[in-house]
Amino acid sequence: VKLIEVADFEELSSAAAAIVEQQVLGNSHSVLGLATGSTPIGLYEKMAEGCRQRGVSYKNVQTINLDEYRGLGAGHPNSYRSFMNEHLFNAIDIPPANTHIPDGRAVEVEAECRRYEALIDRIGPPHLQILGLGTNGHIGFNEPGTPENSVTHCVALTDSTRENNARFFASPEEVPTHAITMGIASILKSRKILLLASGAKKAPAVKQFMEQRITGSFPASFLWKHPDVTLIVDEEAYQLVR
Q: Which residues are catalytic?
A: 67, 136, 138, 143
CA–CA dist 37, 164 (Å, integer):
10
Please, which residues have CB within 8 angstroms of residue 201's CB and are 6 or more apart in sequence? 135
Q: Where are the beta strands (DSSP E) in the chain?
A: 2-6, 31-34, 62-65, 67-69, 99-100, 128-132, 153-156, 178-181, 192-197, 229-234
Work out how close the CB of 235 gets to ligand F6R at its nearest, in angstroms, rounded to a whole number: 17
Q: Which residue's CB is nearer to ligand F6R, number 10 or number 52? A: 10
Q: Which of 184, 240, 222, 241 is nearest to 1 (CA)?
A: 222
- Restricted to residues 21-50, the positions that interact with ligand F6R (CB under 6 A) are 35-39
Please, which residues have CB within 8 angstroms of residue 46's CB and are 6 or more apart in sequence? 13, 14, 16, 17
Among positions 70, 87, 138, 153, the unique one binding ligand F6R when judged by CB under 6 A: 138
If one asks whether residue 221 binds ligand F6R (CB under 6 A), the answer comes out as no
Q: Which residue's CB is nearer to ligand F6R, number 30 or number 36? A: 36
- Residue showing the smallest CB distance to ligand F6R in the complex: 132
CA–CA dist 97, 119 (Å, integer):
13
User: Cβ–Cβ contacts within 10 Å for residue 46, how many?
Assistant: 20
CA–CA dist 137, 146 (Å, integer):
11
If one asks whether residue 205 binds ligand F6R (CB under 6 A), the answer comes out as no
Binding piece for ligand F6R, criterion CB under 6 A, among 16-24, 47-55, 85-93, 127-135: 127-135
Binding piece for ligand F6R, criterion CB under 6 A, among 46-54, 96-104, 139-147, 185-193: 139-147
CB-CB contact of 135 with 201 (8 Å): yes
If one asks whether residue 137 binds ligand F6R (CB under 6 A), the answer comes out as no
Q: Which residue's CB is nearer to ligand F6R, number 56 or number 180? A: 180
Whole-number Cα distances in Å, 99 to 61, 62, 92, 182: 9, 6, 12, 15
If one asks whether residue 20 binds ligand F6R (CB under 6 A), the answer comes out as no
Work out how close the CB of 41 gets to ligand F6R at its nearest, in angstroms, rounded to a whole number: 8
- Restricted to residues 47-66, the positions that interact with ligand F6R (CB under 6 A) are 66
Work out how close the CB of 54 gets to ligand F6R at its nearest, in angstroms, rounded to a whole number: 25
Binding piece for ligand F6R, criterion CB under 6 A, among 14-22, 25-33, 129-137, 150-158: 129-137
CB-CB contact of 219 with 186 (8 Å): no
Residues that bind ligand F6R (CB under 6 A): 35-39, 66-67, 132-134, 138-141
